[in-house]
């Protein structure tokens, strides 16, 4: 099981490039975040803001909610 604290901190620190997505095993969305960051110049900070919001949400979620999110990612993963 991945640590929600680690995932949240990765999302806040490396927010715009999606490192937290790779950590959680969602490599398809991680690649999308990296490509959006590279081809749009970070969407003028929008990717960074989204990463921070996602990181705060991970840190404030309960363990059950985080586990459910992890299972959902595994379900949709190819």
pLDDT tens-digit readout, 28-69? 888 988 888 887 776 567 777 888 888 898 899 888 888 887
Whether residue 78 has pLDDT greater than 70: no
Question: What would the two tokens of residue 61 be?
Answer: 């979620």
Q: What is the pTM of this model?
A: 0.77
Cα separation, 59 vs 63, in Å, equals 9
List the structure tokens of 47.
Answer: 């990717």
Give the pLDDT of residue 73: 67
29: Cβ contacts below 8 Å, ≥ 6 apart: 18, 21
């Amino acid at each position: 099981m991945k640590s929600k604290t680690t995932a949240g901190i990765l999302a806040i620190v490396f927010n715009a490039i999606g490192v937290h997505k790779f950590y959680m095993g969602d490599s398809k969305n991680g690649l999308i975040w990296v490509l959006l960051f590279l081809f749009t110049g970070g969407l003028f900070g929008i990717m960074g803001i989204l990463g921070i919001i996602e990181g705060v949400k991970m840190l404030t979620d309960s363990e059950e909610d985080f586990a459910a999110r992890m299972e959902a990612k595994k379900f949709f993963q190819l």
